[in-house]
A and B are shown apart, each in its own frame.
Chain A
Amino acid sequence: MHNQQISPVLRNDHISVHFEAMASLCEVLVESEDIELAMHIAQAIANEAWRIEQKYSRYRVDNIIYRINHAQGNSVSIDSETWHLLTLANTCFEVSEGLFDITSGVLGNIWHFDGSSLLPSARMIKECLAYCGWQNIRLTQDNVRLPPGYAIDLGGIGKEYAVDSCVQVATKIAPKCSVLVNFGGDIAVSHPRQNQPYWFVGIEHPNPEKDSQLSVTIAQGGLATSGDARRYLIKDGIRYSHVLNPQTGYPVTGAPRSVTVAGENCTQAGLLATLALLQGDQAEIFLEKQGTTHWCLW
């Protein structure tokens, strides 16, 4: 995959480059007519995205996540980047009073959000919850230790972090050039545009039957969407979103189909969107209290 060829598309007032990473279609928009510059930026962004994917994917057996999750109760030494990511996860756990928990991924093993009506049994959920709980993780600047059987999953942070990190890569290369990075709807912009006030971004509606697009504008900062466009369960007329409450082991109900939040950066926006979904039917109230720009689709 890392030998993937990327090629530019010339648009009216910018250059667009596509590639694939993190199971998403990734798009880099560069406000410039300089193809060489755009390609240099896009290539550096692709390399950064692939690096983060390789390092933090939970589907690989050669990375730090695998080593942490398979340490059998031993502590694993971590680098500075991992420490910062886990520290952020800790902050999220604390501010959400336990609702945001990167150890809750294990619940995903019993919940299959394939649109079916197959629900796990209460006993299975209880057994599973015995292996959840960020409060049981020991984290220091150099080491992390999980109780045996625990596993962490950076899926709720990783892609947004990659978007922000890629924007920083772009800023380093061309500080004054406006670059938009879009990894499957998680977006960040490096610098305000010169020739237009903002970028227009279309967000897919979570219900494909509605076939509508939400169009938003972004000048600088991050934009992230959390939702269950394709990942949900319906049982007895109740729609179970793919967002699981790690304290009950059950999916959150009554939440919007999709929450889009604009933030300072993509990671912050993504976390706010996820925290909003975890509020269920209180999602919109939560976001209004935060004073963020947001769009909820029900």
Chain B
Amino acid sequence: MQLNKNSNIATTLAAATCALLGTTSLATQANDNNQNEWQFDTAILYYGEVDRVSLIEGVVSATKDFGDDHIFNGKVTFDGLTGASGTGAVPQNENQTFSRPSGKGGYSVAVGETPLDDTFKDSRVQVNAQWTQPIAQDMRGSAGVHISKEYDYLSMGINASIARDINKKNTTLSAGLSYQLDSIDPVGGTPDRLSSMSILSDLSLYDDDDDDDHGNTDQVDNPEYTAHELSYEQRESSQDKDTVDVLIGITQIINRRTIMQFNYGLSISDGYLNDPYKLISVISDQGVVQDTLFESRPDSRTKHNMYWQTKYAMDNGVIDISYRYAQDDWDIQSHTIESRLRFEISNESYIQPHLRIYQQSAAEFYQPFLLNTSLLPSFASADYRLGEMDAITLGIKYGSKMTNGNAWAVRVEYYQQDPKNAGFDAPGQLAELDLYPSIKALIVQFNYQF
């Protein structure tokens, strides 16, 4: 053995002994780690409702372990929304005219059609950052911030939580707190609660031409248009709400195959909880619209959540079942059952059917319309999302790991919402019209992990 030739013996032996032991050489591992310091999780999602909104959302999530379980996660989410959204107004046996949120335009809704505002166009950027690290023996702490901005909305939040392992790490107790401040600056200002929407008698009176700052000639000195414009000018601008969330949880390992989680969540919101674009129709006893008002929701809401999840490891997959019970002081109660069954079809790929069944009761102030014969309540909303509703999601996901360790997945889901009549009699012409149309949506998502 010549000494000048043998400088790589240590490396040769390291490789040879690692082959014997079926391990990767530490030097090689260190290299690999350097190349993959950040773990990226990316996804692009399409959500499209039949005849209503569609959304494209992209997510890039990056996680890095700085050693000893000091973990940083940063996430950027973009989304773009276009299409039409239900306003809450009822359909009629004749054409209806509504003002757009800005007041600068109008649109008409055909006979028998559910009124939809088709001007929805928004893009949003959200940034999340979260830091997690051990803070004592068997104890972890985590803190994070988020900021989300869209055209008329800004949301900022901070959160912190601690988790403690007990019972030889078979039980984990956790507690978290988050505070969120949201600010909404509605297009066209904030309408007064249950105020009438100013609707011009003729669509041609609206200023639909963006290039013309001076309005069209019909508007000049038209008292109807001047009053309309004034009603928008008098509106308040931005509104705030704040939300405090408390989440306590327990995670328990049951046996070698089963892990169970139970969470209780409390969420208290105060401030402007309306949707400034949602309407409620005032109808006569013949079902004919007399007036269109902006909705009014209470300015506080306290929600309770109970969430239970169990995961079971099969020999060739995972069963994941969860149930959530939620209720709040708006008198909404909901039940959600969700299951994901992962079947590993090879070492590298899996197929995962997904089922979600959701049921909610109506908020106490939910009404599909107001009657002109009744007194005006303090709170009223015809937003179907606060009404009685069933929903179902059926989906399937296929995922595959590539030879270089990266992974991709694709999922396709069908989501259908079936709003229900919570016992309201539909007078006159409304009896013949569909007040609770179903909403059908397709979800397609592609994931890539590297």
Contacts and interface: CB of A to CB of B under 8 A. Distances in A.
Given A34-B168, A292-B10, A221 B17 contact: no
A105 to B, nearest CB: 20
Contacts of A272: 9-10, 13
B14 interface: yes
Contacts of A263: 10, 13-14
A91 B1 contact: no
B21 A168 contact: yes
A85 B2 contact: no
Interface in A239-298: 263-265, 267-268, 271-272, 275, 278-279, 282, 285-286, 289-292
Interface string B1-32: 11100110110111011111111011100000
A85 B23 contact: no
Contacts, number: 81
Given A264-B25, A285-B3, A95 B17 contact: no
A88 B20 contact: yes
Contacts of A99: 1
B9 A275 contact: yes
B9 A84 contact: no
Contacts of B20: 84-85, 87-88, 161, 267
B3 A88 contact: no
B27 A264 contact: yes
A275 B17 CA distance: 15
A84 B13 CA distance: 13
Contacts of B27: 264
Contact of A265 (B1, B6, B9, B21): B21
Contact of A286 (B6, B14, B16, B19): B6
A264 B12 CA distance: 12
A34 B22 CA distance: 29
Contact of A268 (B1, B6, B14): B14
Interface of A is mostly: helix
B17 A268 contact: yes
A18 to B, nearest CB: 24
Nearest to A266: B17
Contact of B21 (A96, A164, A221, A285): A164
A267 B17 contact: yes
Contacts of B16: 87-88, 91-92, 268
Contacts of B23: 168, 265
Interface of B: 1-3, 6-7, 9-10, 12-14, 16-23, 25-27, 168
28 contacts: A84-B19, A84-B20, A85-B20, A87-B19, A87-B20, A88-B20, A91-B12, A92-B13, A96-B1, A97-B2, A161-B20, A165-B21, A168-B21, A220-B26, A263-B14, A264-B17, A267-B20, A268-B16, A271-B13, A271-B17, A278-B1, A279-B1, A286-B6, A289-B3, A290-B6, A290-B7, A290-B10, A292-B10
7 nearest A-B residue pairs (beta carbon) = A290-B10, A267-B17, A91-B16, A268-B17, A97-B1, A84-B20, A268-B13
